[in-house]
Structure 1
């Protein structure tokens, strides 16, 4: 069944709200047993657009959905999972089956309406206390998001929460580098998903797998995921598992991706108790460089870390990880950081080639384990502990100096037998200062907090 939005008389001028137009149109398609709601060319300002079972929203070339600048206009799309204290979504589905977004059109998240115009000294533009995620599908099954473009998300862009059997393909995300926490694709406790052929340009994570804190019925591992053939440009982590890790991650594959001009390349981060295991990365090209201090990371090409963020909640174990056929150009290093021995094990790097570039960034020679458990904070929840600068210090807690300079590979509190470097090649640009050892294993560093 095919229904044209024009049958419901929208005002496609980019100024008048069309929330009720979409509500009536989707209700009509649903009452007919489902089908495609066709959105013709035009600029449609709207609050929450809530999909029903068996309803696909098709955005034609020239169609643009624009998020309202008023957060209250999204009260119909309420997630059970908070994102920085916000719960509302622009395009929303909850507990639905066979839902999706298709077509050559565009979704505009209207980020400038929800962020400060001027950045602070760390390059951080303070966002509004409440701002909508652009797309939230929660507890849905048989999800498809294909061919659309999304720009200027004010918060996480595509947030899939406890969904099963989904495909996100040939999607373009272009978010401004001015605004933080604008992850392109978040698979949060999802199962059986494929992400392929996407082009992602964002200030925060590119493709991020997470297991956030949820109600018991929604709390499940993130597993059976394939991310393939994507182009990613990120000022945070391009391909990431964590930081939110309240449940496990397993059976995950990343392949055939190109990461350019990013802060971090590949990141596995356990902070909240969830284990990360059986993960592979193959045929990945990585380019990393320093970005603004508000972003976590110091141009790490590969970053694997198991540290708690709260004293009372141990982190999980990261194990059975394979990275093969990886080509790297980086201003930083490959980093492994564990709170104690035994938390990171059975890591294999095969045919990894890293060329490190010299530069004069003021943070050269530092590594970044934010968000850490900070003994100087009474409450380590949220992100507050990631930006605390103690009196007499110049960097946030969790940003430390490498001993003896920047190496190629740095491993902290990890046994040498747990990281296998096979057929790897590390080169460093002449004329710059480097650690006298390319591969460094250390334990119990002074200055880095051990719990």
Structure 2
């Protein structure tokens, strides 16, 4: 195995020189030699997009920082999945695609320099942009036929401002991402897509809470995944499990299976450990244990809606701490993001026909969890009338609400169509088989509201 350093290919660590070509030359040399190791030493290495080939170990030494140039024109259209739909989007800042045996390791930092991207998204929204306008948006629109009718989560699909994820592995086997610090992503931060055998370990992932759509980890239609010892503090969901959205995700039919999450910490995120809302191909055998999700909006969050599809089952969430959340457990089949029509049949309280696009949640266990000072409610479990949540067990858990908080129970999760409640109780709707055993709830006048 050959060992290279980026300086050998003209790289400069002054924070100004564009090292895009130096990285391309170095990884091309590794590819020609059947793989090897590329090390990046101390300093700030400014660069555009990076592509990592098979059988490569990419090492970021302590004190090394990859600093990505925030210029949309540098990130050409690349085939990916963006908010649950296969399409062309901007090239991820770091990409390894159709590869095997790739490692990114070390104690260095990967800096996505997301602020200009977030500001640009806000500016587009503030001026009321409703369709593609800039050249890079028009190019993506020309490649993504029918994008106007594709589902999204509010990230900007309608204008084709499809920001790049920070680190993406797609169509890969045997991937390790370990030890590095990853900050300020333009969009989703770590996005494994169609990966088999993945280890994410001892990562430090941090984006401002106000940064839009900056999920921490999005495991998307993957198999055999371990997420261990990671710290995540971001501007959307923390550790997420996904499998495509609506008809396109059903067409791809690639579920996420066998995910183990352990000894992780999530702060500030909209959700700590999250399943959905892109649920189309289903998720199963998802197990999380010994994690601290305190200070997130929702600790455990399972979300979908009519039209998104998917079978979610064999989920076990055990020994989680979720203090100071809005709501510790939110299972929501009326998830609203990406929809502006509040009167849509998607949010009807009446039974709708069951189709391939009707999501299902069943066989979920939540065991040994503690959640103190919940500001909005003690819990929120809402299934569909035509597809109730089935075989849900919550046991040996201790919850308390902060009755002095001015946060409404209606803030427990993001939804349309549900009747208002005013007590910070554990709300249960369309989940007739829910079993609660040794569950302690302190604070609200009514401990449970069954609908």
The TM tier, using the shorter chain, reads: 0.7 to 0.9
Shift of 1:341: 5.2
Q: Is residue 23–residue 50 contact of structure 2 (8 Å, CA) maintained in 1?
A: yes
Task: Give the corresponding residue for 1:359.
Answer: 404
Measured in 1, the distance between the counterparts of 2:253 and 2:65 equals: 34
Shift of 1:262: 0.9
Measured in 2, the distance between the counterparts of 1:181 and 1:14 equals: 27
Q: Is residue 203–residue 236 contact of structure 1 (8 Å, CA) maintained in 2?
A: yes
Q: Is residue 367–residue 401 contact of structure 1 (8 Å, CA) maintained in 2?
A: no
1:319 and 2:362 matched: yes
Measured in 2, the distance between the counterparts of 1:410 and 1:368 equals: 10
Structure 2 stretches lacking a partner, 5+ long: 127-153, 337-344, 347-354
Q: 1:264-303 counterparts in 2 under 5 A?
A: 264-271=298-305, 272-289=308-325, 299-303=326-330
Task: Give the corresponding residue for 1:380.
Answer: none
Task: Give the corresponding residue for 1:37.
Answer: 38
Q: Is residue 259–residue 286 contact of structure 1 (8 Å, CA) maintained in 2?
A: yes
| Matched residue count | 393
Task: Give the corresponding residue for 1:197.
Answer: 229
Q: Is residue 250–residue 281 contact of structure 2 (8 Å, CA) maintained in 1?
A: no
Task: Give the corresponding residue for 1:56.
Answer: 57
Measured in 2, the distance between the counterparts of 1:152 and 1:50 equals: 20
1:441 and 2:450 matched: yes
1:242 and 2:276 matched: yes
Shift of 1:3: 1.1
Measured in 1, the distance between the counterparts of 2:440 and 2:251 equals: 47
Q: Is residue 330–residue 412 contact of structure 2 (8 Å, CA) maintained in 1?
A: no
Task: Give the corresponding residue for 1:422.
Answer: 437
Structure 1 stretches lacking a partner, 5+ long: 290-298, 373-396, 429-433, 443-451
Deviation string, structure 1 residues 133-176 (Cα, Å, up to 9, x no partner): 10111110000000000011111000000100010000000111
Larger helix fraction of residues: 2
Q: 1:11-26 counterparts in 2 under 5 A?
A: 11-26=12-27
Q: Is residue 309–residue 358 contact of structure 2 (8 Å, CA) maintained in 1?
A: yes
SS in 2 for 1:195: strand
Go from structure 1 to structure 2 and tell me whether the alpha carbon gap of 1:175 and 1:53 turns closer, same or farther (over 3 Å shift).
Answer: same
Deviation string, structure 1 residues 49-93 (Cα, Å, up to 9, x no partner): 0011101211001111111111221227x2321249844200001
| 2:333 paired residue among 289, 292, 306 | 306
Measured in 1, the distance between the counterparts of 2:42 and 2:260 equals: 33
Shift of 1:308: 7.7
Measured in 2, the distance between the counterparts of 1:110 and 1:351 equals: 43
Measured in 1, the distance between the counterparts of 2:254 and 2:155 equals: 32
Shift of 1:398: 5.1
Calculate the TM-score normalised by the size of structure 2. 0.82
1:178 and 2:210 matched: yes
Larger strand fraction of residues: 1
Shift of 1:423: 0.9
Shift of 1:342: 4.0
Go from structure 1 to structure 2 and tell me whether the alpha carbon gap of 1:407 and 1:341 turns closer, same or farther (over 3 Å shift).
Answer: farther
Deviation string, structure 1 residues 92-132 (Cα, Å, up to 9, x no partner): 011100112100000001111112288999xxx99893422
Measured in 2, the distance between the counterparts of 1:364 and 1:322 equals: 27
Deviation string, structure 1 residues 298-353 (Cα, Å, up to 9, x no partner): x1210112348774874311111001110001112211112215420101111010
CA-based RMSD: 2.5
| Worse-matched range after superposition: 128-137 or 43-52 | 128-137
Deviation string, structure 1 residues 338-382 (Cα, Å, up to 9, x no partner): 221542010111101001112343x42324553x5xxxxxxxxxx
Task: Give the corresponding residue for 2:140.
Answer: none
| 2:293 paired residue among 242, 253, 259 | 259
Q: Is residue 366–residue 400 contact of structure 1 (8 Å, CA) maintained in 2?
A: no
Go from structure 1 to structure 2 and tell me whether the alpha carbon gap of 1:8 and 1:399 turns closer, same or farther (over 3 Å shift).
Answer: farther
Task: Give the corresponding residue for 1:221.
Answer: 255
Measured in 2, the distance between the counterparts of 1:63 and 1:177 equals: 25
Shift of 1:180: 1.7
Runs ≥4 residues deviating over 3 A: 83-87, 117-121, 125-128, 213-219, 307-314, 367-370, 397-400
| 1:332 paired residue among 369, 376, 386 | 376
Q: Is residue 334–residue 417 contact of structure 2 (8 Å, CA) maintained in 1?
A: no
Q: Is residue 301–residue 332 contact of structure 1 (8 Å, CA) maintained in 2?
A: no
Measured in 1, the distance between the counterparts of 2:447 and 2:412 equals: 19
Measured in 2, the distance between the counterparts of 1:359 and 1:187 equals: 37
Deviation string, structure 1 residues 28-48 (Cα, Å, up to 9, x no partner): 112111111101111111111
Go from structure 1 to structure 2 and tell me whether the alpha carbon gap of 1:108 and 1:340 turns closer, same or farther (over 3 Å shift).
Answer: same
Measured in 1, the distance between the counterparts of 2:419 and 2:43 equals: 51
SS in 1 for 2:26: helix
SS in 2 for 1:140: strand
